[in-house]
């Protein structure tokens, strides 16, 4: 496998780690609230990112790239929009199942393809656009309840989920832009450096926010350090692989292949939460697989 195709296993690894992190954070919302559960992935993930950068520095013998103004702007944009996206996603998860909320947020690929074209000039061919639409259609079909009533649990979780997808799209573009803005370093070094800056920025933002507006949630997140540590590790691991993918190909490619996370979330819901997979969800999953398969085919 050539280096350019390493984004495929990197994305699959990221999706698997993120599925585990989402499930862990969902449980934390019950004890420390939405904002508290949002910040643990950053606060507890930051030390793991620093460790990863130290190991990469030691293994590769490369200097750590110095940030420039463009890099910092992209990092700040990616960090702030990802915080908003995560908070919206966890809010929706309090009202809908993990697999359904994941489906709403995964309307993201269409948006990330457009943002990537407009902001970064990432290529978007007709074939790629068709594959993205097919896979996203599968997500939409999966999000329907068995009674075909989208609003059966209210409009709010739907809005939260779709808005979360939009912010995740902007975050993906921001972090890919930051990686590309670094003038030197290998793929692994630039992606890991961006990870440290991103998680560091997010940690500072959320610590200040919680100290000012929700000190109770901040204290609760420290008390719940054991499950929070697990969420932080899985979050940092997922982000590391996401960033490697962003360094190797367009964010649209990465986030479309990442739709396999919907299938992973469905498996988690089925096994751990005793939720039944409907025929409509099976059709949606089939379309996701077709869309992802077409996307990979168009890479040749």
DSSP the chain: --GGGGHHHHHHHHHHHHHHHHHHHHHHHHHHHHHHHHHHHHHTTHHHHHHHHHHHHHHH-PPPPPP-HHHHHHHHHHHHHHHHHHHHHHHHHTTS-HHHHHHHHTTHHHHHHHHIIIII-----HHHHHHHHHHHHHHHHHHS-TTS-TTTT-SHHHHHHHHHHHHHHHHHHHHHHHHHH--SS-HHHHHHHHHHHHHHHHHHHHHHHHHHH-HHHHHHHHHTHHHHHHHHHHHHHHHHHHHHHHHHS-HHHHHHHTTHHHHHHHHHHHHHS-PPPPHHHHHHHHHHHHHHHHHHHTT-
For position 3, what pLDDT does the model report?
60
b/e map of 191-215 (b: 16 or more CB within 10 Å)? bbbbbbbbbbbbbebbeebbeeebe
For position 19, what pLDDT does the model report?
80
Lowest pLDDT segment from 13-17, 35-39, 112-116, 120-124 = 35-39
| Cα–Cα distance for residue pair 167/19, rounded to 1 Å | 18
For position 134, what pLDDT does the model report?
94
For position 1, what pLDDT does the model report?
47
For position 149, what pLDDT does the model report?
45
Q: Quick one: angle between helices 7-43 and 69-93, nearest 10?
A: 80
For position 107, what pLDDT does the model report?
79
pLDDT of 129-169, one tens digit each?
999 999 988 887 876 664 444 555 567 777 888 889 899 99
Confidence of residue 273 (pLDDT cuts 50, 70, 90): low
Interval 55-64 mean pLDDT: 95
> Is 140 or 84 the better-scoring residue by pLDDT?
84
> Is 242 or 280 the better-scoring residue by pLDDT?
242
Structure tokens belonging to residue 249: 């190909």
b/e map of 64-86 (b: 16 or more CB within 10 Å)? bbeeeeebeebbbbbbbbbbbbb
Domain boundaries, the chain: 3-297
- pLDDT of 6 > 80? The answer is yes
pLDDT of 158-215, one tens digit each?
788 888 989 999 999 999 999 999 989 999 999 999 999 999 999 999 899 889 988 8
For position 148, what pLDDT does the model report?
46
Average pLDDT in the chain:
85
Structure tokens belonging to residue 228: 């929070």
Model's pTM, two decimal places? 0.86
The residues, any chain, with a CB within 8 Å of residue 139's CB and separated by 6 or more, are: 103, 106, 107, 259, 262, 284, 288
Interval 105-114 mean pLDDT: 86
- Among residues 97, 149, 131, the alpha carbon closest in space to that of 259 is found at 131
Interval 8-24 mean pLDDT: 87
For position 139, what pLDDT does the model report?
80
For position 115, what pLDDT does the model report?
92
Tokens 């489906």 belong to: 103
| Cα–Cα distance for residue pair 248/242, rounded to 1 Å | 10
For position 223, what pLDDT does the model report?
86
For position 112, what pLDDT does the model report?
94
| Cα–Cα distance for residue pair 300/296, rounded to 1 Å | 8
For position 96, what pLDDT does the model report?
65
Tokens 């280096």 belong to: 3
Q: How many CA atoms lie within 13 A of 32 on its CB side?
A: 25
How far are the Cα atoms of 39, 195, 219 from residue 235, in angstroms, in the given order? 11, 11, 21
């Amino acid at each position: 496998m050539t280096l350019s195709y390493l984004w495929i296993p990197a994305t699959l690894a990221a999706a698997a780690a993120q599925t585990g992190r989402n499930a862990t954070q969902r449980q934390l919302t019950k004890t420390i609230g939405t904002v508290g559960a949002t910040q643990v992935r950053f606060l507890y993930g930051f030390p793991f990112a620093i460790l990863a950068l130290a190991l990469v520095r030691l293994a590769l013998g490369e200097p750590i790239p110095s940030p420039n103004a463009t890099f910092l702007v992209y990092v700040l944009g990616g960090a702030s929009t990802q915080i908003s996206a995560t908070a919206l996603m966890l809010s929706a998860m309090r009202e809908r199942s993990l697999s359904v909320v994941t489906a709403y947020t995964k309307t993201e690929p269409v948006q990330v393809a457009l943002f990537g074209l407009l902001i970064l000039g990432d290529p978007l061919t007709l074939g790629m656009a068709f594959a993205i639409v097919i896979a996203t259609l599968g997500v939409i079909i999966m999000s329907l309840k068995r009674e075909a009533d989208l609003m059966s649990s209210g409009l709010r979780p739907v809005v939260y989920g779709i808005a979360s997808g939009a912010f995740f799209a902007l975050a993906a573009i921001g972090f890919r832009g930051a990686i590309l803005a670094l003038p030197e370093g290998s793929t692994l070094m630039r992606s890991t450096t961006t990870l440290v800056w991103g998680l560091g920025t997010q940690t500072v933002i959320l610590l200040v926010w919680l100290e000012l507006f929700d000190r109770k949630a901040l204290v609760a997140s420290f008390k719940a350090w054991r499950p929070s540590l697990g969420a932080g590790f899985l979050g940092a691991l997922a982000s590391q692989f996401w960033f490697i993918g962003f360094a190797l190909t367009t964010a649209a490619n990465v986030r479309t292949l990442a739709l396999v996370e919907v299938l992973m979330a469905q498996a988690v819901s089925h096994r751990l939460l005793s939720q039944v997979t409907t025929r409509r969800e099976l059709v949606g999953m089939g379309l996701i697989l077709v869309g992802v398969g077409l996307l990979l085919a168009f890479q040749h």
